[in-house]
Structure 1
Amino acid sequence: MQVVFPNLVTLKVHGCNNSRFLFSFSVAKSFILLKHLKISICELLQEIVSSTRECNEENMDDMFPKLNTLKLKALPNLARFGTGNYVEFPVLKELEIDDCVKLVEFIGNKVATSSEDTRNSKEIEQRILEEEENLDVKSETVVQYILFDKKVGFPSLERLSIQGARELKAIWHVQLARDSFRRLKQVDVQECKNLVSLFPPSVIGRLNALETLKIWGCGSLEVIFELPGRSNVKEIHADTSFPHDQLKHFDCQNLDSINIYGCHSLKQIFPASVARGLQYLTRLDVDKCDAIEEIVGEEEEKEGLETIPPRFVFSKLTSVELKNLPQLTSFYPKTHASQWPLLEKLEVVRCDKVGILAAEFSFSQKNREMNHLMSQPPFFSMNEGSFVNLEDLELTCSEIWNGPPPANPLVFDKLKSITFHGSCAPFSKQASVIFLQRLQNLEKIGMDNCSLEAIFVNQGISIGEKKHDDAVRGGGLPRVRILSLQRMDELMHLGNDNSQSLLFPNLETIEVSWCMRLKSLESYAIFFRNLTTLTIYACDGLKYLTSYSMAKSLVQLTTLEVNYCDGIVVIVSSNGDDDACTARNEIAFSHLQHLKLTRLPSLQDFCSGNCTLKFPSFMTLQVEHCPIKLKISPEGVLMTEIDHQFQQNRVDYDSDDEEEGDVETAEKNPEILSEGPAS
């Protein structure tokens, strides 16, 4: 054989739109040193290596002996890499297949072909048409359109990425080359619309090296890990000979990260036997999967044996994010125990059927019966050693904990931040407040997209009843330093105007953003004298920021920022109280170091009335795109004057609105804000 390219190491082919195949068999055999091959945007390409009479089983297995990476991208008519009885890529480590919408098999069966290219092309086209017509025709063991089978070998493959292969129903056949896929570290599957099953039993036993699994936008996917005899997938894999015992101790010892998004036919993530093998998993993310009901599927019960509730131990898991899962009800559908000793971050957000986050579980018969009788079982059923390192919690459910306090005082002991989403109203129930009071290290409480008109709504809540322990009798939430409110479309005021209950006695930071109907920040539940940072963003309903009395209480304030609030007229308002400044006609922000006002088109003055405002002369003052200018005199007195250039700047800004669409909304997003300060 003549060697055509004996020294070629890297080959990139781009935009060859007139070829139906790329290499003849003899040319492909000549790439004895080729390490990197990338083929992209070749519209008519149907095969990489031409199917000709010279292609036979005796000389196919040593093709591309040094190939390390293979990337196929935007090849809309590619049906296969080539045809043959067996092709092995002995050192291939990385395989990327992106936007090859008609790819149906990597190595096709040998067909009788002509040596003439025109004849070869017609036969390839005819075969593709026949495959499309027989999409649903299945044999006893395999359905059409499975990418890898025993005709191709990947003994060294570490990274596999498949995107946009819309015709595929499965990636792996039940019969594979003996040493293939045993070194896989990363699997990335995206936008494979017809994919029904990911890992068949023949592959599950080969995943000991797998570290990262990512599945996005596979709307027909029903099963990720398919066990023999337990699959609901319709005839994709009919092989029942695979020994189930091989999966009893499934150990994916290197699996570190699982990320699943937009798989709307998926009802569970793992079978129980697979979940037990995830001893080294550190991160689990599941988002926007409309049909998921549980994370771990129910284990098959054995007849005649007493059922012992399963235990799941995730000894290395540090982060779990479960978001936008409308059918999710439980981690495991029946009584179980779980341990999460290293978990630091937990999100269960917009999972509307999850009502109670967690409860303590005991293997005693009495407690098992109590758990069974619960009207709404908790999402997590935990035993000792769980959540002892949890620091960041985000949730939508109405209750965090069910039942008496945890027997282990370390449960939730390190929790520093809680963010409530959706329908949560954490300050409307006595039990919720008591639970929050027990969190010795809680520093931040956030509320995001909660449908509330007021945060503090139940005047009957008592803080520190005698029957509670000393931590509760201390009153309120004294350790909380930060309160963050975001995207609360219904919020009009903080509430609790008439109560003497002080919920936040030591609050230092308040952050409010995208609360468009908010009218006032004042509340008797908050002690403002310790506040050091106040940041307001995109709250168009505010006409003023503080009243005189509230402004006087901000004695420790060091940072004040008000940005993109279209309705705000003044920062400090007399609010109709003419006597507010009678005793001392002065308000001093003596500790203020940074004042920033940005995009306040209705701002007329910093303060209404005739009150004098005093600031430190060394503070940073930043006013951008506002109708007024602010200056501080050497004596520290704030002075206001009209910005005569603002009107012209406003005209220019409105012109940009007309040209670019809804620029006002876009510019409120700091990620796309590019305009500099006004001159």
Structure 2
Amino acid sequence: MANDELRILEVENCVSLVEIVAKDEVATEEVNTERIIFQSLTLLRLWNLPKLRCIYPGMLILKWPKLQKLDVLHCEVLRFFATEFQNSPDSHLEDRNSFPTDQQESVSLRKVTPHLENLCLGKEEAMMITQGKLQIDLQLGLVKLQRFDESDVFLFVFVSNEAVPQPSIEKIEVVDSAFEEIFPSQMPDINFPQILSQPKGLKLQNLPQLNYIGLEHNWMNPILENLETLYVWECECLTILIPSIVRIHKLNYLFTSSTASNLGVLKEMHVSNCQSIKEIFETEEGDGPNVHMIIFEQLQVLTLSSLPALENFYSGSSTLNFPSLKQVAVNVCYRMKFFCIDY
């Protein structure tokens, strides 16, 4: 096929588009066979295609052995891949061409995209996971979730069926959404801790209604133990979070001392352009003299920059220990008098 060498396919904002490959563009002898199309495809992005039903309406089973990134947003009626029902000889032609999404059988990403690394989904596409239509049953470098409403709960995406193989996720990104919180105070009664305890990175970007991340909750300790990086951008309503932090103007502090004690694998801490932060640690009740030692076992780089309200790093009485620290930079922190208070 002529499209066998295609490596990147991006289709956006085509409100009337129904199919990517028209059926008559495939040779007649190939129509009723199982065949890999776009076999060299490494990136597929489908954005804002409200009428898109399928990649190809015929009986080809879509398998993309080289696909590394799949980015799908606002494709409400899309069937990701052909299904057994769609390709069944007993199904009628009109059924194949108008197969509804809510009847799609479960699709295993491990089988159709074995080398997928990055998966980016909008709300409508993520619903296929909770409905059991899409199995994320492989190792992924990144899962990115985008364009969710204020009524949505972040964790619903990770509701899982114990009978289905679970993914291994290295990094989670949540962007351009109206979540008010990420992790609630009480652990939900769903099977997700195994999934969420794996990521080493969490990125939150453009979440204007986010009030809490929730990493300070006790049930989050297993997740904190593996977290190496946290990146936050344009979340102006936050009151509690863990670094790295960039341009968050309404914060008073970054995290509590008890939360910090769980950050044993944090390697870099960068805090900059946060206009209201007065201290990095918030002192908690019970932080009496010599209560405990807070150890950043693997922290190597600490940067504090353009923090006009910062008065100190920590005002409590616990001992801070940085055994691996190699580099410290403090710039434009004019009100900072003490790194910590000596009791």
- Rounded to whole Å, the distance in 1 between the matches of 2:324 and 2:67 is 47
Shift of 1:624: 1.3
2:182 counterpart of 1:455: yes
Instruction: Please say if residues 248 and 275 of structure 2, whose CA atoms lie closer than 8 Å, have aligned partners that are also in contact.
Output: yes
Are the structure 2 counterparts of residues 555 and 286 from structure 1 closer, same or farther at C-alpha, using a change threshold of 3 Å?
same
User: How far has the Cα of 1:343 moved from its partner?
Assistant: 0.5
Once the 2 structures are TM-superposed, how far is the Cα of residue 537 of structure 1 from its aligned partner? Answer: 0.9
Matches of 2:168 and 2:226 in 1, distance apart?
Answer: 14
- Residue of structure 2 equivalent to 1:624: 331
1:420 to 142, 145, 151: 145
Query: Which residue is equivalent to 1:446?
Result: 173
| Structure-1 separation of matches of 2:54 and 2:222 | 33
TM-score (norm 1): 0.41
Change (3 A) 1:613 1:383: closer
SS in structure 2 opposite 1:418? strand
- The residue aligned with 2:281 is 572
State the Cα distance separating 1:461 from its structure 2 match. Answer: 3.6
Cα distance in 2 for partners of 1:441, 1:598 equals 35
Instruction: Verify: 1:327 aligned to 2:50, yes or no.
Output: yes
Counterpart of 2:277, as a letter, is: I
The alpha carbon displacement at 1:374 in A equals 3.7
In the TM superposition, residue 298 of structure 1 has moved relative to its aligned partner by: 4.6
2:257 aligned partner, one-letter code: Y
Query: Partner residue of 2:120?
Result: 394
Paired position in structure 2 for 1:318: 42
Instruction: Tell me if 1:342 matches 2:66.
Output: yes
Pair 1:383–1:417, CA change in 2 (3 A): closer
1:286-343: CA deviation from partner (whole Å, max 9, x where unpaired): 34x353523525536xxxxxx96996611111111233x2535333475653221111
Counterpart AA for 2:53:
S
Report matched runs for 1:340-489 at 5 Å.
340-349=64-73, 352-354=74-76, 358=80, 361-362=83-84, 363-364=87-88, 374=100, 376=102, 385-396=111-122, 397-401=125-129, 403=132, 412-423=137-148, 427-429=154-156, 432-434=159-161, 438-457=165-184, 461-464=188-191, 475-489=194-208
Closer/same/farther in 2, CA of residues 383 and 319 from structure 1, 3 Å limit: closer
C-alpha separation in 1, matches of 2:327 and 2:217: 37
Q: Distance in 1 between matches of 2:53 and 2:39?
A: 20
Q: Which entry has the higher C-alpha Rg, 1 or 2?
A: 1
Partner Cα separation in structure 2 for residue 342 and residue 551 of structure 1 = 41
- Amino acid of the structure 2 residue aligned with 1:399: M
C-alpha distance in 2 between matches for 1:334 and 1:399: 22
Q: What secondary structure does 1:597 align onto?
A: strand
Alignment partners' CA distance in 1, 2:186 and 2:298: 34
2:200 corresponds to 1:491: no
The separation in 1 between residues aligned to 2:184 and 2:82, in whole angstroms, is: 30
Question: How far apart are the structure 2 equivalents of 1:358 and 1:549?
Answer: 44
Shift of 1:493: 0.3
Distance 1:310 1:609 in 2: 66
Q: TM-score, normalised by structure 2?
A: 0.76
Q: CA RMSD, aligned part only?
A: 4.1
Return the offset for 1:613: 3.5
- Equivalent residue for 1:512, pick from 218, 232, 237: 232
**Letter of the structure 2 residue corresponding to residue 446 of structure 1:** E
Alignment map for 1:529-678 (pairs within 5 Å):
534-575=243-284, 577=285, 579-582=286-289, 584=291, 586-616=293-323, 619-628=326-335, 638=339
Distance 1:375 1:561 in 2: 44
Deviations 1:463-509 (A, max 9, x none): 44xxxxxxx7x834343221111111111102487784777363332
SS at match of 1:506: coil
Work out whether residues 463 and 476 of structure 1, in 8 Å CA contact, stay in contact via their aligned partners in 2.
no
Change (3 A) 1:312 1:502: same
> SS in structure 1 opposite 2:291?
coil
Q: CA deviation at 1:447?
A: 0.8
* Number of matched pairs: 323
Q: Provide the secondary structure at the position in 1 that maps to 2:330.
A: strand
Q: CA deviation at 1:454?
A: 0.8
Q: Distance in 2 between matches of 1:432 and 1:400?
A: 11
Alpha-carbon distance in 2 for matches of 1:613, 1:367? 68
Amino acid at match of 1:482: G
Secondary structure class of the residue paired with 2:41: coil
- Per-residue CA deviations over 1:358-403 (Å, capped at 9, x if unaligned) read 366112257886996645476x988995211111111213335454
Gaps of 5+ in 2: 25-30
Question: Using the alignment, how far apart are the partners of 1:383 and 1:604 within structure 2?
Answer: 50
**Secondary structure of the residue that 2:112 maps to in structure 1?**
coil
Q: Structure 1: any 5+ residue segments left out of the alignment?
A: 1-250, 252-276, 301-306, 465-471, 523-533, 632-637, 641-679
Between the aligned partners of 2:89 and 2:287, the Cα distance in structure 1 is: 65
Q: 1:588 to 1:281 in 2, by over 3 A?
A: closer
Is 2:13 the partner of 1:281? no
Q: Deviations over 1:589-633 (max 9, x none)?
A: 3543211011112112212345554444963110111124578xx
Following superposition, the deviation at residue 543 of structure 1 comes to 0.9
Contact 2:213–2:241 (CA<8 Å) still a contact in 1? yes
CA–CA separation in structure 2 for the residues paired with 1:433 and 1:403:
8
* Matches of 2:169 and 2:320, distance apart in 1: 35
* Matches of 1:295 and 1:404, distance apart in 2: 20
The alignment partner of 1:313 has SS state of coil
Cα pair 1:284 1:319 within 8 Å, conserved: yes
How has the CA–CA distance of structure 1 residues 432 and 625 changed in structure 2, closer, same or farther, with 3 Å as cutoff?
same
